[in-house]
Amino acid sequence: MDIIVKRDYDEMSRCAAEHIAALIRKKPDCVIGFATGATPIGTYRELVRIYNEEGLDFSNVKTFNLDEYLGISMDLSKPYILDQSYRRFMHEELFKHININEENINIPDGLARDPEEECLKYEEKIKEAGGIDLQILGIGGNGHWAFNEPGSSFDSRTRVIKLNEQTLNDNYEAFYKKAGIPREKMPHYAITMGIGTILEAKSVLMLANGAKKAEIVAKALEGPVTTMVTASSIQIFKGKATVILDGEAASMLVKQTIK
């Protein structure tokens, strides 16, 4: 595992974007797993800059998002702040700004009539694409990857999951409260890739910033490997793992593994 610490969020985002861009240049038809949330926004905006200024070509890239809320989907008739679907997030923050082929974009369908069947189909789509070359990851306040809440098995696959109280509180403060949406109206369930699905990627890129993430980052990277901190599974990941942090998020790390 490579741990790269940058001075601040902007430097972290530029480093992450260059990491992703390098893969696309090397393998133009690569398969990338994308994440949502506040952390990767800077990375996606930097990828847009590279596309505009350096001609990075996304036309053959295939994508799979980690998760989607159950019961909602993109609604372009609503203002962005009122449409909290992850499909809309990716559309606004990245996809509408680059030359990606719409047919190559894969995000779980939050309005699927049969969510369990949707999960099985999503797994099959990943296999048909040849697997994920690079999976981008954040880390939740309780140490989750995607929506794999504490206690999720490391063998878990794409599935429907109930969000726990900390995740609901974090997401409400970050997104729904700003939109003026009552907490009781935010989704309490989601479709998420499982930890087992994520660990099958050829490489992973985990991002974290801010002092609020310092303790959980240290637990994930240097604490015991436990399903109660699902991001700790990075320690048993068999592919290439890269972690990019800002100084605050790295402040509680003790091992000399930092580049």
Q: Is residue 31 part of a domain?
A: yes
**Domain coverage including residue 191:** 2-246
- Number of domain units in the chain: 1
Q: Is residue 215 part of a domain?
A: yes
Q: What's the length of the chain?
A: 259
**CATH value at residue 115:** 3.40.50.1360
Q: Is residue 169 part of a domain?
A: yes
Pairing mode, if any, of strands 31-34 and 189-192? unpaired
pTM over 0.85: yes
210: left (phi over 0), alpha (psi -120 to 50) or beta: left
> 148: helix, coil or strand?
strand
Cβ 234 vs Cβ 1: under 8 Å: yes
Phi first, then psi, for residue 35 (nearest 5°) are -120, 160
Q: Is residue 32 part of a domain?
A: yes
Cβ 187 vs Cβ 168: under 8 Å: no
Q: Is residue 176 part of a domain?
A: yes
Give per-residue pLDDT as tens, 200-254: 999 999 999 999 999 999 999 999 999 999 999 999 999 999 999 999 999 999 8
Q: Is residue 258 part of a domain?
A: no
Q: Is residue 256 part of a domain?
A: no
Catalytic residues: 67, 142, 144, 149
Q: Is residue 103 part of a domain?
A: yes
Tell me how far apart the alpha carbons of residues 162 and 92 are, in angstroms, rounded to a whole number: 26
List beta partners, residue 49. none
Q: Sorting pLDDT into bands at 50, 70 and 90, what band is 88?
A: very high
